Structure 1
């Protein structure tokens, strides 16, 4: 049985999208993830690059990886991880006092202490109660943690999603500990946007597609980001055009009767802008940052199904995700989106071959397989709403999903960089080759 300190998968823990899961693979995945939790930090270097082992292993397990493939992926990616810091019992005890908890926030040397603290919290109270107290109580403590959940290019919420999706309390504890050691820069965007929207859960009248078009036509917003910016959201968009970004973001709202359709619309939109942001005749490449908007989308069916979360908490999660997706789009230079890059693509693989290629990719640290699985899930979630078409935000539909799966595998199959970074800028494309002439 899975607990807050023990990772234990079974074939019934296969997530919202899975194919061909195996009992022996569940055992292999459980073993390597337990070792990862006990031995490795959540950041693998001093620049706070994330340990993706949980993401990678659970994704390829869900896509039918054998024990050998799982163990090989683990060995490849554990080789560069940092060891955990030792537990300081005094600090763990102090974390129970929320006035002292905040003394340790955003200090990566306390990741292990936060992990042990949240493991004990979950053991004592259960996952639902802990999430409600530490993320959704709408007090200073919970809001401080919730904004951190959306920091780090969505890595903490991705980690939480895996814990919820695969019924692993220990991974939920890791996610909360990971959020605690992130900064809160995104608070200056999410909280003002929520206030500008008039609160949580107002009926949404605009689709993400509409807002993308409006933002791309706003010269000040588009030019707010420069190639030389480091964090292109905080040092670009929110520095040079904060009012404009908040104005558009606040127009993305979700009411209780819109949750299912808006979830599907969000998935459709992030897949669209990630895949269609191409620069012909350059070879097809996908933006590393946009890809995280896609990869995090798969968890919303699980998150929004949690019986312990209030409708208000679920609406807040949806609204914040959509607003981060909008800011993410602008932050990479607001590229033109070319739907014909998708519709004209000639696929050569079925989904089974796409899954097999992704789980066997020799250079993947989980991003490729996560993206493939998220797109396959998007096809399933969006299908009931496709009749609404572009007017309701569903521009990706039909055989485009399979074409996108093929595009992902083709884009990462050759030598060189797997991803482009900041696809809207000429400089980002300068290192990539033109496509072969047919």
Structure 2
């Protein structure tokens, strides 16, 4: 049985919302490896805050039918550069029960092991639902602070939480909350909370789709000029410094009422797949943007989130609204590339989904990003299919999903010196050899 301190995957109940040929022996191997990773490794693998992706990687390939050998090989490849876990302090862990002390520890990397132990204890006492309600959705100062941090770090805390919820692993949820606590909160303070205020609160009926808003920002001169290749952080130093009001204005228009949840979920998934796949240059080899894929990869978890029995409707709406706003912000931050649908529509289909999954499992250097991507694509196809024949705008439809899956695997297994991903695809510099990796 999975607990806040023990990872245990059961293929019958913990295969995820999208899976293919999940194996019993792989579940056991994955459980053992994830347990070891939690005990031995830090949340960041370097001092720049780059994330340990092992849980994402292992759970993704497990869900796609990995063998124990696949899982062991993936772990062996990606554990060698991880930093060792830091020691926890019982005094600090105990002090975190005081709200003021809890908040004093926020944003400090060295407190990750303390937060991990703290949230493990809290989940043991109150359950996952009770802890999320108290520490993320209560609406008090502490919870608002944590919610702002959940969307920090290129949405890695949100992705980690999504994996814990999707695969029913309280220990992964505890990791996610600890990771959330040591991230920054500026993106929430400067963007999400102002957008929510301008929207008039949570759950207002949405009059515009995310796709419509994407089209509108693409022609906004202030936003076009708000981001520069040289910005150290294109969101903080670019958009939220040069055009915060304009960005918040558009973001506030993405709202989701209780009656719109399913439709807006499909809109969100389709739109982020659309801009991730079609941001191409006809004179260059096809590549997918590393920043965009994080929005795509995190989309899969919302099919689980909107069905969670312990989460109230207001919290579900709030998360979905913030996700759509993050997707819009990310598109602007990468220089708003032109979106060339014909590049996807004419791409050849060589592999079906099972072959795409097999190629991603066998990738020699993937750290989980590719496996996450193809699983989210295959899931997105299922979510969006019911809406394709209606009048709703769904630019990605029919066999385009499979074409994008082929693009994903083809573009990441090019010649040895070619990077798997491109970064900030709207800028000419990104397409040059050794294009930068600025945030």
Q: Please, what TM-score do these two structures have when normalized by structure 2? A: 0.97
What is the CA-CA distance between 1:432 and the residue it aligns to?
7.7
Equivalent residue for 2:222? 220
Counterpart CA distance in 2 for 1:326 and 1:393 is 17
Measure, in 1, the Cα distance between the counterparts of 2:232 and 2:390: 39
C-alpha distance in 1, partners of 2:230/2:357?
A: 37
1:20 match: 21
- Cα deviations across residues 117-167 of structure 1 (Å, max 9, x unaligned)? 000000000000000000001111101001111111110010000000000
Q: 2:312 aligns with which of 310, 313, 321?
A: 310
What residue in structure 2 maps to residue 382 of structure 1?
Answer: 384
Name the CA distance, whole Å, in 2 between partners of 1:121 and 1:353.
Answer: 42
Report the equivalent of 1:145.
146
1:24-39 alignment to 2 at 5 Å? 24-39=25-40
Partner of 1:5: 5
SS of equivalent residue, structure 1 residue 156: helix
Alignment of 1:394-409 (within 5 A): 394-409=394-409
Q: Is the 8 A contact 1:359 1:369 kept in 2?
A: yes
Aligned to 2:335: 333
Unpaired runs of 5+ residues, structure 1, are: 434-438
Please tell me whether residue 413 in structure 1 is matched to residue 413 in structure 2: yes
Distance 1:139 1:322 in 2: 23
Counterpart for residue 41 of structure 1: 42
Q: Helix, strand or coil for the counterpart of 2:4?
A: coil
Are 1:185 and 2:178 matched, yes or no? Answer: no
Q: Is residue 162–residue 299 contact of structure 1 (8 Å, CA) maintained in 2?
A: yes
Q: Specify the alignment match of 1:371 in structure 2.
A: 373
Post-superposition CA distance 1:226-246 (Å, at most 9, x none): 000111111100100000000
SS in 1 for 2:367: coil
What CA distance in whole angstroms lies between the structure 2 residues aligned with 1:101 and 1:28? 35
8 A contact 1:269–1:393 mirrored in 2: no
Give the match for residue 393 of structure 1.
393
Residue of structure 1 equivalent to 2:282: 280
Structure 2 residue matching 1:175: 3-state secondary structure: helix
Q: How many angstroms apart in 1 are the aligned matches of 2:120 and 2:386?
A: 39
SS in 1 for 2:403: helix
Distance 1:387 1:151 in 2: 36
Alignment partner of 1:130 is 2:137: no
Residue 206 of structure 2 corresponds to: 204
Q: How does 1:322-361 map onto structure 2 within 5 Å?
A: 322-361=324-363
> What displacement does 1:393 show?
3.3
Deviations 1:270-320 (A, max 9, x none): 000000000111000111000000000010011111111111000000000
- SS of 1:398's equivalent in the other structure is coil
Q: Could you tell me which runs of 5 or more consecutive residues in structure 2 were left unpaired when the two chains were aligned.
A: none
Is 2:231 the counterpart of 1:229? Answer: yes
The structural deviation recorded for 1:184 is: 0.5
TM-score, normalised to structure 1, is 0.97
Q: 1:407 to 1:432 in 2, by over 3 A?
A: farther
Q: Does the 8 Å contact 1:221/1:237 carry over to 2?
A: yes
Q: Do residues 245 (structure 1) and 247 (structure 2) align? A: yes
Within 5 Å, give how 1:95-134 maps onto structure 2: 95-134=96-135
Q: Distance in 2 between matches of 1:94 and 1:129?
A: 20
Q: Contact 1:53–1:366 at 8 Å: present in 2 too?
A: yes
C-alpha separation in 2, matches of 1:103 and 1:82: 24
* Structure 1 contact 208–393 (Cα < 8 Å) conserved: no
* Post-superposition offset of 1:209: 1.1
2:91 paired with 1:80:
no
For 1:150 and 1:82, locate their aligned partners in 2 and report how far apart those are by CA, in whole Å.
23
Distance 1:373 1:119 in 2: 29
> How far did residue 347 of structure 1 move?
1.0
CA distance in 2, matches of 1:121, 1:417: 42
Give how far 1:388 is off: 2.8
Which stretches of structure 1, 4 residues or longer, exceed 2 Å deviation after superposition? Answer: none
